[in-house]
């Protein structure tokens, strides 16, 4: 069965420090992979996505993620965190197959707290 | 212009009532979705419509009924509301089942 695991429920980093949020997935074929961010009381905003091609993808707000097929991972990184990055981060997996219904499986989310 | 909008933003109601949440997208997308986010922030898909045709119908109680009058709208009607229905409901849309754009959410509280 498809699944997404975000091992870190809560992460605290200092402003200006680097960040890596982990995401592992279980999927039978080549997946579509996404990272979304949810600020308090808001909807989800897409940070970046991987469909195919270059395994290092760049997103908005200075985020990037790397698809590692051998490790079934799609970790999110940012070299220098800003206080405004404090939010909930969700990794999600979708199907790349022609039978794709658009269904996304989400991880449990990682809460990022930024210390001044 | 708001891409995916939902109304209402907050909904407080009594057990047993029937309520509806409306969703509209102005992105010209062909697929729309409903997700439920529980109190632990876990997101799970409920339904999806592609060109007004139901294509995803997860194991959701049949008290929940989606309705898509046209490609730009997907409404969610809930009958006989229960305490466990309290959650945040998100609408989303996509084109060709690609990346999904989410609405701001509707926080439903059942008393």
> B4-110 — its CATH code?
2.60.40.10
**Residue in B43, B45, B97 nearest the CB of A100:** B97
State the pLDDT at residue B55. 86
Choose the mutation target among B100, B101, B107 for the interface with A, i.e. most A CBs under 10 Å: B100
> Tens-digit pLDDT profile for chain B (111 aa)?
679 999 999 999 999 999 999 999 999 999 999 999 999 999 999 999 988 888 888 878 999 999 999 999 999 999 999 999 999 999 999 987 788 999 999 999 999
Give tens-digit pLDDT for A81-90: 999 999 999 9
DSSP secondary structure of B29-79:
-SEEEEEEE-TT--EEEEEEEETTEEEEE-S--TTEEEEEEETTEEEEEE-
Q: What percent of chain A has pLDDT over 90?
A: 78
> A3-115 — its CATH code?
2.60.40.10
Which residues on B lie below 8 Å from A59 (Cβ)? none
Q: Is the pLDDT of residue A75 over 90?
A: yes
Q: What percent of chain A has pLDDT over 70?
A: 97
Chain B residues touching chain A at CB-CB below 8 Å: 4, 31, 33, 40-45, 48, 50, 55-56, 90, 92, 94, 97-105
Chain A residues touching chain B at CB-CB below 8 Å: 32, 34, 36, 38, 42-46, 49, 51, 88, 90, 94, 100-104, 106, 108-109
Domain boundaries along the sequence of chain B? 4-110
Distance from CA of A80 to the nearest CA of B (A): 26
Domain boundaries along the sequence of chain A? 3-115
Q: Is the pLDDT of residue A99 over 70?
A: no
Is residue B21 within 8 A of residue B107, CB to CB? The reply is no
Residue B97 backbone phi and psi in degrees, to 5: 60, 35
* B29: CB partners within 8 A, 6+ apart: B71, B93, B94, B95, B101
Give tens-digit pLDDT for A36-45: 999 988 889 9
State the pLDDT at residue A52. 87
Distance from CA of B86 to the nearest CA of A (A): 15
Count CA atoms within 13 Å of residue A72 on its CB side: 12
C-beta neighbour count of A79 within 10 angstroms: 11
pLDDT-wise least confident of A7-11, A42-46, A67-71, B55-59: B55-59
Is the peptide bond between B8 and the residue preceding it cis, with omega within 30 degrees of 0?
yes
Cα–Cα distances (Å) from A106 to A4, A29, A92, A93, in that order, read 6, 17, 4, 7
Residue of B nearest to A6 (CA): B42
Quick check: B102 and A90 CB within 8 A?
no
State the pLDDT at residue B63. 95
């Amino acid at each position: 069965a498809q699944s997404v695991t975000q091992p870190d429920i809560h992460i605290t980093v200092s402003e200006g420090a680097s960040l890596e949020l982990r995401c592992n997935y279980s999927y039978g074929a080549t997946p579509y992979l996404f990272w979304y961010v949810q600020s308090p009381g808001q909807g989800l905003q897409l940070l970046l996505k991987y469909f195919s091609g270059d395994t290092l993808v760049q997103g908005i707000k200075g985020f990037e993620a790397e698809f590692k097929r051998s490790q079934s991972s799609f970790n999110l990184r940012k070299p220098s965190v800003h206080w405004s990055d404090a939010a909930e981060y969700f990794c999600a997996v979708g199907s790349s197959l022609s039978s794709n219904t658009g269904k996304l499986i989400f991880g449990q989310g990682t809460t990022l707290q930024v210390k001044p | 212009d708001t891409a995916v909008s939902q109304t209402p933003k907050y909904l407080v109601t009594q057990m047993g009532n029937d309520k509806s949440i409306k969703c509209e997208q102005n992105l010209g997308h062909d697929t729309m979705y409903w997700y439920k986010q529980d109190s632990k922030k876990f997101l799970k898909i409920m339904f999806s419509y592609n060109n007004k045709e139901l294509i995803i119908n997860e194991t959701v109680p049949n008290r929940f009924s989606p309705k898509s009058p046209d490609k730009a709208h997907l409404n969610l009607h809930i009958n006989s509301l229960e305490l466990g229905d309290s959650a945040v409901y998100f609408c989303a849309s996509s084109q060709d089942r690609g990346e999904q754009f989410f609405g701001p959410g509707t926080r439903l509280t059942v008393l």
